[in-house]
Structure formats: C-alpha cells, structure tokens
C-alpha cells in the first residue's frame, strides 16, 4: 500500500526539466515539433536525406489504407547505408562494435572497415549457397558479431532475414521457418550464458525434420561443442565465409524492397510474421536514433542492452545506430554473468554514454542493491532509455538517481514490432520528463487516445491508443495474411491503427501508456499471447481445458498464470504437483521458457458466462488477489463458490 502511495505521489508531483547543458548541445532543438506538424510528409522527405540513395525519391507517401508505400521511386542498399558509406567517408577506423563475451576478458573490437569486409565475405558466401533477392533466411543466433554481419549480408543481397530469438523452442523455430518458407538458416553450435555453453544447433536439426525446403544451414562455431552434421546441407561459417573475397559489389534495390520479418504474438495462437520494407523503416530508425538517443557519432559509446532476436535489437543495435555511424557496446551475457556489477563494470571500462534497456531489467538491478552501481564510475553516461512495458515510477526514479546520478535525461520509448521504430517518447534536451510518462508523439507522428466509439479524448481522460496517420517504418503487413492485418489493426477504429494498448492523457495533456487491453501479456518486456499458451496447454494429453491470464508481478511486470482442468483419468491421479511441473515444462518446450507459467492452478471447472465464454476478468481477479467483481452473468452460483475456493488455493500456493 505504501508503495502504491509513493507511486501516486511521484506520478502527481515529479517533473524534470532538461538541463541547460544538455539542451544546448542536443540534436533536438526547439521548434522541431512545430516544423514537423506543419508538414509531416515534408518532414519525412527531409529525414530521408539521412540515407544514401542511388536514386533519390521524388514520391513521399502513397496511402491506400491500410497499405502504405514510402519513397517508392527511390533506390538504395540497406547494408551500404549501415557500413560502406562510413568507410567511404573516411571513418573506416572508427569502432563499430566493442563486443564483450559472457566470459570476462574475452572481447573483440570491430571497426567499420572490418565490418565492411566481414559483411562482404558473408554476402559472397550466401550468394554461393544460393541466396537471392527476395528469399527469406531464418536466423537462430547468440549475441555475437556474426549475427549482425549475417543480417547485413542478407539484406545486402535484397533477401529478408527472419531472426528467431535463440530462447525459442525447436517447434517455434520450425513454425516460423515454414510460415515464410525459408530455404536457408544461419545459426551457431551454441551460446554462452553465465559461463555455461548451451547448444543451439540441435534445435535447428530438430526443427528441420519438418522443414524439407531448407537447403543450406550455415553454422558459426562459438562453443566448440559437439554437433550433428548433415553433409551437403550444413556448412561451417569459418570454412565457407572466411575464404571469400572481402569485396562485394552491392546492388541497388527499390525503397519498398522487403527487408525483414519478425514474428510476434498476437491474440490468436498463431504468431504473426510482421513484415518490414527498406527505406521507410531505415529513415525512421535513423531519425529516431538521432533525436531520441541524441546520437553523436564521434564521441558516443552506445549500449542497447537487448537481444538481436527482438525488434529492439533490429532497430537500435543494427539499423539505427549503424546508419548514424556510432560506436556501440554489444554484450553477449546476462546482467549477472560474473557478478551483479557486471553491467556497471562494462559502463565504466568502455565509457558508455547511452544505456537502453527494459523496466524488468531495471527492477532486477534495483533489487540487487544500490551498492553495485555505486561501486563504479558511471559518469560517462549522459542518456538513459527504457522500452518494452510501462515503467513504474519507483523504477524510473531508481534509474535516474542510482544509474544516471540525477544527470541524465530518461527517454521512456513506446513502440512495437509493428511500428518498427519509436513512436512516443520524450525528446532529450527539450521535454520535461515525468517518471513513467511517454509524454507525446515524436515529430512526424500523429496519435490519438480515443474512447470505445473512436471519439478523441482530452486532458485527464483515458482510453485506447491509436495512430491516426501512416508513418514511414510502419509494418507493411502480416506475411501472407493481408486480411488478418486489416482485422487486427485497422478494423476496430476505421482509418486508424489500433495498437492494442490503453493510454491516458494527464491533466497537462501528456501521454501515459497503461499496458495491453487485449489478450496479449507483457512478461519481462516480452510479448506473449494468452491464446498461444492455452493452445499449448490443451495440447497436453492430461489437460481438458485451460485459461491463461497475465497477473501483475513486481519483477516481470506481468506473469503467466494458468487455470487448468484435467481430463477425468488424470484427475484421479493424486500427484498434482508432478502434473503441474510437467505442464510448466511442456509450455516451456512448446513455446519458450519465457512463456512458462509462474503458476498453474488446477480446478475442476472454469468460470463461464451463460454464452460459454471463459470469464478471464474474474480469473485475473483471482490471480491478482482482488475481491470478486460482478458475477451475475455466471451460469451457476456454485461456480461463484468454486472461484472463492480457487482464491484460497491460490493464496496458499503463491510464491
Ligand atoms: C508492446 C509491444 C518495442 C520494443 C519492445 C517490445 C509495450 C513497449 C513500452 C513503453 C509502455 C510499452 C506495449 C506495446 N510497450 N514499450 N515504453 N511503455 N508499454 O515490442 O514485443 O512488439 O511489444 O510493448 O504494450 O504494445 P513488442
């Protein structure tokens, strides 16, 4: 309770004006919003000049709702924009990546000139293996430089990458490979996590049993672990890539050339292949990186502490920073690989100037204690960013005081896999910030918070977040499913994009993001579908029915709680603890360990409305220990008693 009061107080009272020092040197200068508002398309045309074009576009936006084309008559090459042009401009000796391994002492420094040679070799190798423009290439990789090199090499050829997070199961990998019919896979033998090697290749081998169209697998040697090998199909990176020429002549592609796919969970069981194209995406990631992260290529050492398996890694480790030509830290390990101060040691040692991470990680670091950040010199930091879920004011304050030493603006950035780039965020040097507020849409972006009927709301009101105009980095659709694209995002509020998030304007008219309003959960900044997990549970032989809800959790934001009814034969088994553990493992292997339920509650029945719909709201109340709300629509009064019983079971079994 005291905590809730503190948060309310912070929300009401705290405001941080930008420091004059930061403002004077900020990339974003006053007048920027007015400039963009006066002519949003003109604004984006101007921002597109950040890119190196082979043919400069004359068109800006073509909008045939819900399908947008940006800069469509321009031509360019994405990897040239990330690498070649910096080398051509004489900046080849600048460090692109300080790569830091999980193990202390193992590091690599890669300059832009070296990155260019690596990308050229990889592009030549992929060409030799048969990759052509328009192909889809799946990637299942640890956080090593070759992951970035592979992405850039793929798009250099005009092909698309589809990076699948290394924590996903073989099943999840297979379904993604099949959905977009990838014929190539790039992976590694394994990955290091807190000093232990964990294999990756076996999951690929397993997945490929059901993917007959995959013709080549390129494998980076990382852990030296034993691997099974399919001759003719499998190729070692160090054999095929390293013998290639370090020259590769890039081809020019149309602005709307497909760039990548990123699968994400929606409200149904099937993950969606979110599809992005080249020039609009690159323009907006470059622009937002420049203004929101205040990129200073000659002095910054930036660290987006995310995995390249997520959109944050794509946009703000690979494309945004590289187009801006900054130096980055790329770290393979966990925050506590070799001690709970590992992050702070990295910041001290490399003079990191910008740190971008998720609230769930901030809360974990906070829980470990102030002594860890306090024991290190973090004075190189000048900007902090947060992404992935609403940040609670307490964590925001800790980030500001303990990490930023009250001296760094915090940018709380709202966006999605679908939006491709940042959409709502303070602008450092301009915005007054508030702990937990996204503040306002970025220049060139138009949003509205609306009520159920789509009416625009005003100060002090809350409802649904919509985006009212197309933006350059917006997804061009769900791969292979245009109808689902329309249904999911464009049907609820005709003409506007519905993000699936609740939001409110405070009394100043500033925006606060309130989390998902659909059947999507946000666990540690990872997006999970309740339906997908229910599907996995029901797929288990012992389960009759399952309902999954996201319950609030101090550390992970939300946590997965599942209510499960067992089939009659399993029901009679008295070893419920064993069944519960089996089910948790089942979900972890079917989807990923992130999806593993924090808690599974066995119940003889699920509460349903008269029309047979599971009452999730009620289950969420149970999972969050709230008193029961309106239960008059329940079929059967005995179910009410059952729910009360569930509450008791839940209270006594909580971790
Ligand atoms: C969902 C998108 C964008 C990269 C990471 C997640 C939530 C994201 C914030 C924020 C409040 C946020 C939203 C959104 N979200 N950033 N700063 N404040 N909520 O990408 O997996 O596509 O998930 O994450 O609910 O819809 P994603």
Q: pLDDT tens for residues 27-85?
A: 999 999 999 999 999 999 999 999 999 999 999 999 999 999 999 999 999 999 999 99
Quote the pLDDT of residue 655: 42
Which residue in 31, 6, 11 sits closest to 507, CA to CA?
A: 11
* Cβ proximity of 103 and 195 under 8 Å: yes
Which residue in 524, 530, 476 sits closest to 500, CA to CA?
A: 530
* Cβ proximity of 597 and 562 under 8 Å: yes
Check if 412 has its Cβ closer than 6 Å to any atom of ligand 1: yes
Quote the pLDDT of residue 491: 95
Quote the pLDDT of residue 521: 87
Give the separation between CA 430 and CA 26, rounded to whole angstroms: 8
Which residue positions in the chain have pLDDT lower than 50?
1, 654-655
Residue nearest to atom 1 of ligand 1 (CA): 416
Q: Give phi and psi for 620, each to the nearest 5.
A: -65, -40
Joined tokens for residue 353:
């100037």
Check if 44 has its Cβ closer than 6 Å to any atom of ligand 1: no
* Cβ proximity of 342 and 333 under 8 Å: yes
Q: What would the pLDDT profile of 447-470 be if each residue is shown by its tens digit?
A: 999 999 999 999 989 999 999 999
pTM of the predicted model as reported, rounded to 2 decimal places = 0.90
Q: How many CA atoms lie within 13 A of 243 on its CB side?
A: 6
* Cβ proximity of 47 and 286 under 8 Å: yes
CA 164 to centroid of ligand 1, rounded, Å? 18
Q: Which residues are registered as beta bridge partners of 552?
A: 558
Residue-level length of the chain: 655
Give the separation between CA 369 and CA 241, rounded to whole angstroms: 45
Neighbours of 32 (CB within 10 A): 18
Helix (H) or strand (E) holding 24: helix 20-25
Quote the pLDDT of residue 654: 47
Quote the pLDDT of residue 526: 87
Query: Which is it for strands 136-140 and 184-188: parallel, antiparallel or unpaired?
Result: parallel
Helices 112-129 and 145-156 cross at an angle (nearest 10°) of 60
User: Position of tokens 């609230």?
Assistant: 359
Give the separation between CA 506 and CA 528, rounded to whole angstroms: 29
Check if 309 has its Cβ closer than 6 Å to any atom of ligand 1: no
Which residue in 562, 536, 543 sits closest to 622, CA to CA?
A: 562
Neighbours of 636 (CB within 10 A): 12
Joined tokens for residue 637:
């009064």
In the chain, the domains with their CATH numbers are 3-54+65-503 (3.40.50.12780), 524-649 (3.30.300.30)
CA 388 to centroid of ligand 1, rounded, Å? 4
CA 54 to centroid of ligand 1, rounded, Å? 34
Q: How many CA atoms lie within 13 A of 84 on its CB side?
A: 20
Check if 304 has its Cβ closer than 6 Å to any atom of ligand 1: no
Burial-class residue 446 by CB neighbours within 10 Å (0-12, 13-18, 19+). middle
Q: Which residues are registered as beta bridge partners of 453?
A: none
Q: How many CA atoms lie within 13 A of 564 on its CB side?
A: 33
Peptide bond into 278 cis (omega under 30): no
CA 652 to centroid of ligand 1, rounded, Å? 33
Residue nearest to atom 21 of ligand 1 (CA): 527
Q: How far is CA 81 from CA 53, 54, 136, 385, 626, in A?
A: 8, 11, 21, 25, 53
Q: Which residues are registered as beta bridge partners of 198?
A: 191
Rg (CA), the chain: 25
In eight-state DSSP terms, residue 537 is H
Non-local (6+) Cβ contacts of 148 within 8 A are 97, 115, 308, 317, 318, 330
Non-local (6+) Cβ contacts of 112 within 8 A are 83, 86, 87, 91, 92, 93, 94, 95, 96, 325
Residue nearest to atom 17 of ligand 1 (CA): 414
* Cβ proximity of 454 and 495 under 8 Å: no
Neighbours of 648 (CB within 10 A): 10
Neighbours of 75 (CB within 10 A): 18
CA 525 to centroid of ligand 1, rounded, Å? 7
Mutate to test the pocket of ligand 1, among 384, 389, 447, 498 (most ligand atoms within 8 A of CB): 389
Burial-class residue 130 by CB neighbours within 10 Å (0-12, 13-18, 19+). exposed
Neighbours of 82 (CB within 10 A): 29
């Amino acid at each position: 309770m005291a905590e809730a009061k503190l948060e309310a107080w912070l929300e009401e009272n705290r405001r941080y004006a930008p420091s004059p020092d930061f403002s004077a040197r900020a990339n974003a200068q006053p007048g920027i919003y007015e400039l963009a508002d006066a002519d949003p398309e003109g604004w984006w045309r101007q921002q597109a000049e950040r890119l190196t074009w082979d043919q400069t576009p004359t068109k800006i936006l073509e909008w045939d709702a819900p399908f947008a084309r940006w800069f469509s008559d321009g031509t360019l090459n994405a990897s040239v924009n990330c690498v070649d042009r910096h080398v051509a401009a004489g900046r080849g000796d600048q460090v692109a990546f300080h790569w830091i391994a999980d193990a202390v002492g193992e590091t690599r420094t890669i300059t832009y000139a070296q990155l260019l040679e690596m990308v050229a070799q990889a592009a030549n190798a992929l060409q030799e293996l048969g990759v052509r423009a328009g192909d889809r290439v799946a990637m299942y990789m640890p956080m090593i430089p070759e992951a970035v090199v592979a992405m850039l090499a793929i798009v250099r050829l005009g092909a698309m990458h589809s990076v699948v997070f290394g924590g996903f199961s073989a099943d999840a990998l297979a379904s993604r490979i099949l959905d977009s019919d990838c014929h190539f896979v790039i992976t590694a033998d394994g990955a290091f996590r807190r000093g232990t090697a964990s294999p990756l290749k076996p999951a690929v081998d397993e997945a490929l049993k059901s993917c007959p169209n995959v013709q080549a697998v390129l494998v980076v040697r990382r852990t030296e672990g034993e691997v099974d090998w399919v001759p003719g199909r499998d190729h070692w990176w160090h054999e095929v890539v390293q013998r290639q020429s370090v020259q590769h002549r890039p081809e020019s592609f149309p602005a709307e050339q497909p760039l990548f796919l990123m699968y994400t969970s929606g409200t149904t069981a099937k993950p969606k292949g979110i599809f992005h194209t080249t020039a609009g995406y690159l323009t907006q990631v470059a622009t937002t990186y420049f203004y929101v992260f205040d990129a200073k290529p000659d002095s910054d050492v930036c660290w987006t502490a995310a995995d390249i398996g997520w959109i944050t890694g794509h946009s703000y480790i690979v494309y945004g920073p590289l187009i801006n030509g900054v130096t980055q830290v790329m770290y393979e390990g966990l925050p506590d690989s070799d001690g709970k101060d590992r992050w702070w040691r990295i910041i001290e040692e490399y003079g990191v100037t910008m740190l971008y991470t998720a609230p769930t990680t901030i809360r974990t670091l906070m829980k470990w204690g102030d002594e860890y950040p306090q024991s290190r010199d973090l004075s190189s930091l000048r900007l902090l960013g947060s992404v992935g879920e609403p940040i609670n004011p307490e964590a925001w304050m800790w980030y500001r005081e303990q990490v930023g030493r009250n001296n760094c603006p915090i940018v709380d950035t709202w966006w999605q896999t679908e939006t491709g780039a940042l959409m709502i965020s303070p602008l450092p040097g301009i915005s007054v910030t508030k702990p937990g507020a996204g503040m306002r849409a970025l220049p060139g972006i138009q949003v509205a918070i609306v009520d159920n009927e789509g009416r625009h709301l005003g100060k002090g009101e809350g409802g649904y977040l919509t985006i009212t105009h197309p933006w350059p980095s917006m997804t061009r659709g769900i791969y292979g499913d245009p109808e689902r694209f329309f249904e999911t995002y464009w049907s609820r509020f005709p003409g506007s994009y519905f993000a699936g998030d609740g939001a409110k304007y405070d009394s100043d008219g500033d925006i606060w993001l309130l989390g998902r309003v659909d059947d999507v959960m946000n666990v540690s900044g990872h997006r999970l579908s309740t339906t997908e997990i229910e599907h996995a549970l029901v797929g288990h032989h012992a389960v009759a029915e399952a309902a999954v809800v996201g319950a609030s959790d101090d550390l992970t934001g939300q946590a997965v709680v599942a209510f499960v009814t067992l089939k009659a034969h399993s029901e009679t088994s008295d070893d419920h603890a064993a069944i519960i553990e089996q089910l948790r493992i089942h979900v972890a292997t079917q989807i990923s360990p992130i999806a593993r339920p924090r808690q599974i509650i066995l119940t003889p029945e699920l509460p349903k409305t008269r029309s047979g719909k599971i009452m999730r709201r009620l289950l969420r109340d149970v999972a969050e220990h709230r008193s029961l709300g309106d239960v008059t629509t329940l079929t059967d009064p005995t179910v009410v008693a059952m729910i009360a019983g569930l509450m008791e079971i839940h209270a006594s079994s909580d971790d």
